Amino acid sequence: MPTPRPRPSRRRLLLQAGAAAAVQVVVRPAAAQEPPALATLVAQFAGPQKVREGRVKLEIAQMVDNGNVVPMRVTVESPMTEADHVTEIAVFNEKNPQRDVARFQLGPRSGKADVATRIRLATSQQLVALARMNDGTVWSDSVDVIVITAACLETTTSS
């Protein structure tokens, strides 16, 4: 009579799932280019300006259990004075049905360039936060987010 196999523990299953997620992250090429749709949105926002990295900090968990409610915060290094302030913050995503996640208009009276909201993420993807300064320069930060349970899935129905 064959010996029954022991059932794997919950901890072992979670470790295996985490390892599988880590393998997926490692498989993605380090020099992967932004998909054209995301790059197009960034270019449209920036206009003729070159997008620079720095000054902007996009704070979002790199791994989220549920894509339905994902807290996000964007801060920009700026004194927020009449001479040097943020005029607009925009956040775009790579794979949601609506790529324009959020836009915020600011001015020197805003006090500080710090905005927070909750968003939905359809699947694992890259997010880009952009800040336009009053001198026209555009600064950015990006984060890759792994979503365990997807949100925003659109289905088509036929009538």
> Contact at 8 Å (CB) between 55 and 22?
no
Query: Is the residue at 110 inside a domain?
Result: yes
Query: Is the residue at 41 inside a domain?
Result: no
Query: Is the residue at 37 inside a domain?
Result: no
The number of distinct structural domains making up the chain is 1
Task: Give the CATH number, domain containing residue 95.
Answer: 2.60.40.2470
Check residue 28 and give its pLDDT. 46
Which residues on neighbouring strands pair with residue 59, listed in sequence order?
Answer: 73
Query: Is the residue at 107 inside a domain?
Result: yes
Cα distances (Å, whole numbers) of residue 86 to 72, 105, 108, 120, 132: 18, 8, 7, 25, 6
Query: Is the residue at 127 inside a domain?
Result: yes
Q: Say if residue 8's pLDDT is above 60.
A: yes
Q: Say if residue 142's pLDDT is above 70.
A: yes
Query: Is the residue at 22 inside a domain?
Result: no
Parallel, antiparallel or unpaired: strands 138-149 and 63-66: parallel
Calculate the CA 3 to chain-centre distance. Answer: 49
Average pLDDT over residues 95-109: 92
Query: Is the residue at 6 inside a domain?
Result: no
- Residue position matching structure tokens 């880009």: 128
- Residue 67: domain span: 48-149
Query: Is the residue at 119 inside a domain?
Result: yes
